[in-house]
Structure 1
């Protein structure tokens, strides 16, 4: 039996929102989110603010991949500051916290607060993030940080839409392979890179080779 063609379900911004500022962490995570928004005729702009990403070469590569996909679809892209020194200041004392712990909460808070500030100053009434589509992330943790950031501004919502549902996670991988996105093998920060490499060495695997692996290369 032939597979039926995929038909996207139309989605709407919460509370009759008009304009969305989408915080994007990377192209692989945002690809499916962006295509879903485009197919629903939602007015949105990408906001790239990720000072956690380390080293700078990795940050630049992830950003350029995101810009490439946004330009392909004529989506406005806001390139925010690489405020890495401030990120490390906020992370002091949390260098050995586990993934999904308080360091990650700090990181989400920092990024979403900046997103909400930009949104409030530039006519956006809804913010959201592509971070939640990743199965490696705690969606409740992300949503709590987003809601907290949005609550500081009048008439602003954080959209808690579950981008993983109805095959979103699968399509994320399909789009990543189709576009041959760069495949990042750790969350992004220096401590994630350290801990991921430690785990890889303990399990007999090589350390991550930055800037080398792309979706679709294994096929």
Structure 2
């Protein structure tokens, strides 16, 4: 079997299996469904704090629906904490200004990933005594570019002097498992990624 690469979730899991201490992971989560199978996979090996920073989710009532769904998912995992920092959709709207017409998966998405992961890295730096690594649930989606997300994660980690763990949580049927768990737990599953182009600025 191929050995996991240093700097990946899989590598730290292998290390954790041989020690009594669980690494402390700050896990950026975009929503409850994506967090479900990821937490199931990670919690046996990490002390996880979920971080819900997603000012891209529009409109506000959708943001609240997803936050509540995430709270419900987190409640199924003993010891997992949830942090919901102050955030405003105007942060996102300003950040992606001029990209209203970008297609799904285009430059606007790259900016969105960067905004959310950079904020997560900043939070980790501000609370560095509480965390060893950060990661994101974004890579569980088959619609997301995991190599791009991981490259952004590593870049912002280097910028702030913290440690990012690369992942591709859609492997091992992670996405399919998230669907199963949400059905089992009655978790709200959204029908779009987050932003609504009609609400953005040209």
Query: Which one of the candidate residues 146, 153, 166 is aligned to 1:146?
Result: 153
**What's 2:115 paired with?**
110
What are the residue-to-residue correspondences of 1:1-219 with 2, within 5 Å? 11=10, 13=12, 18-40=23-45, 42-74=46-78, 75-123=80-128, 124-154=131-161, 156-191=162-197
Deviations 1:17-41 (A, max 9, x none): 831100000011110000111223x
Larger Rg, first or second structure (1 or 2): 1
Distance 1:106 1:11 in 2: 27
Which consecutive aligned stretches of 4+ in structure 1 deviate over 2 angstroms post-superposition?
10-18
Consecutive unaligned residues of structure 1, counting only runs of 5 or more, are 1-9, 195-219
User: Against the structure 1 CA distance between its residues 83 and 187, is the aligned structure 2 distance closer, same or farther, given a 3 Å change threshold?
Assistant: same
Normalising by structure 1, what TM-score?
0.77
Equivalenced residue count is: 183
Distance 2:170 2:198 in 1: 23
Consecutive unaligned residues of structure 2, counting only runs of 5 or more, are 1-8, 16-21
User: Against the structure 1 CA distance between its residues 192 and 183, is the aligned structure 2 distance closer, same or farther, given a 3 Å change threshold?
Assistant: farther
Q: SS state of the match for residue 43, structure 2? A: helix
**What's 1:210 paired with?**
none
> 1:185 Cα shift?
0.7
Conserved? CA contact 1:99–1:192, under 8 Å: no
Structure ranking higher on relative contact order (CA contacts 8 Å, 6+ apart) = 2
Distance 1:28 1:14 in 2: 22
Distance 1:25 1:193 in 2: 19
Distance 1:193 1:181 in 2: 26
State the Cα RMSD in Å.
Answer: 2.2
Normalising by structure 2, what TM-score?
0.83
Conserved? CA contact 1:21–1:44, under 8 Å: yes
**What's 2:19 paired with?**
none
